[in-house]
A and B are shown apart, each in its own frame.
Chain A
Amino acid sequence: MKRYPLFTKHILAFLLLVTPSIVLGQQYIIKFATIAPEGSTWMNVMKEYDQAIRSESGGRMGFKIYPGGVQGDEIDVLRKIRLGQLQSAGVTGNGLTTIAPKVRVLDSPFLFDSYSEVDSVYSLFNDEFSAAFKENGFVNLGWAEVGFVYVFTNSPVKSPSDMKSVKMWMWEGDPIAEAAFKALDIHPIPLTFNDVLTSLQTGLIDGVYSTPYAIIALQWFSRLKYMLDVPLADAAGAVVIYKKKFDELPPDLQDILLRNGHKYMAKLTKISREDNKKALQTLKSKGITIIEPSSPNILSTYDNIGRNARRLLVGKLFSEDLLNRVEKVVYDQRGHNGHRTK
Chain B
Amino acid sequence: MKIHLSAILLSLLFCGCIQQIALNSIGDLMDTGFSVLNEEQDLNIAEKSIASDLKLLETVIAKDPNNTHYLLLATLGYSSYALGFAEDDSVDRARLFYLRARDYGVRILRRNPAYARASGKNVDELRTALSTFSDEDLPAIYWTTVAWGSYINLSLTDPEALADLIQVEAMMEFVLDRSPSYFYGGPHYFLGTLYGSKPKMLGGNPDLAKHHFEEALKVNGGKFLLTYIFYAKSVAVQTQDRALFEQCLTIVDTTSIDVLPQARLANSIAKKKAHMLREKIDQLF
Contacts and interface: CB of A to CB of B under 8 A. Distances in A.
Q: Do A and B bind each other?
A: yes
B199 interface: yes
Interface string B63-103: 00000000000000000000000000001000000000000
Interface of A: 35, 37, 39-41, 44, 64, 68-73, 192-194, 197, 212-213, 216-219, 221-222, 275, 278-279, 282, 285-287
B160 interface: yes
Contact of B157 (A39, A71, A222, A285): A39
Given A44-B157, A68-B238, A213-B159, 6 more contacts: A37-B156, A69-B202, A197-B203, A216-B162, A219-B203, A279-B159
A8 to B, nearest CB: 30
A216 B221 CA distance: 37
Given A40-B157, A279-B159, A193 B121 contact: no
**Which 10 residue pairs are nearest across A and B when measured between Cβ atoms?**
A69-B199, A279-B159, A39-B156, A282-B159, A219-B166, A40-B156, A222-B166, A193-B201, A216-B159, A282-B160
B277 interface: no
B44 interface: no
A44 B156 CA distance: 10
17 contacts: A39-B153, A44-B157, A68-B238, A69-B198, A69-B200, A69-B238, A70-B199, A194-B200, A212-B159, A213-B159, A216-B159, A218-B202, A219-B166, A279-B159, A282-B160, A282-B163, A286-B163
Given A35-B199, A37-B156, A287 B162 contact: no
A194 B201 contact: yes
Nearest to A225: B122
B24 interface: no
Given A39-B153, A278-B160, A287-B121, A70 B203 contact: no
B283 interface: yes
B201 A35 contact: yes
A70 B235 CA distance: 10
Given A64-B283, A222-B166, A35 B157 contact: no
B238 A70 contact: yes
A275 B159 CA distance: 7
A71 B200 CA distance: 11
B260 interface: no
Nearest to B282: A64
Contacts of B116: none
B240 A73 contact: no
Nearest to A279: B159
B156 A73 contact: no
A194 B163 CA distance: 18
Contacts of B240: 70-71
Contacts of A37: 156, 197-198, 202
B219 interface: no
B123 interface: yes
B43 interface: no
Nearest to A197: B203
Given A219-B166, A286-B163, A69 B157 contact: no
A69 B206 CA distance: 13
Contacts of B157: 39-41, 44, 275
B173 to A, nearest CB: 14
A270 B123 CA distance: 32
A39 B158 CA distance: 10
Contacts of B283: 64
Contacts of B162: 216-217
A252 to B, nearest CB: 26
Contacts of B165: 219
A222 B159 contact: no
B29 to A, nearest CB: 38
Contacts of B156: 37, 39-41, 217
A216 B159 CA distance: 7
B56 interface: no
Nearest to B123: A222
B114 interface: no
A218 B204 CA distance: 10
A239 B132 CA distance: 50
Contact of B202 (A39, A71, A72, A217): A217
A213 B157 CA distance: 9
Contacts of B158: 278
A101 to B, nearest CB: 21
A212 B200 CA distance: 20
Contacts of B238: 68-70
B159 A218 contact: no
A166 B282 CA distance: 48
Nearest to A41: B157
A264 B283 CA distance: 22
A222 B122 contact: yes
Contacts of A44: 157
B203 A35 contact: no
Contacts of B251: none
B118 interface: no
A221 B160 CA distance: 12
B237 interface: yes
B244 interface: no
Contacts of B155: 39
Nearest to B167: A222
Contacts of A213: 159
Contact of A70 (B91, B154, B160, B237): B237
Contacts of A278: 158-160
B202 A193 contact: yes
A73 B204 CA distance: 12
Interface in B115-169: 120-123, 153-160, 162-163, 165-166
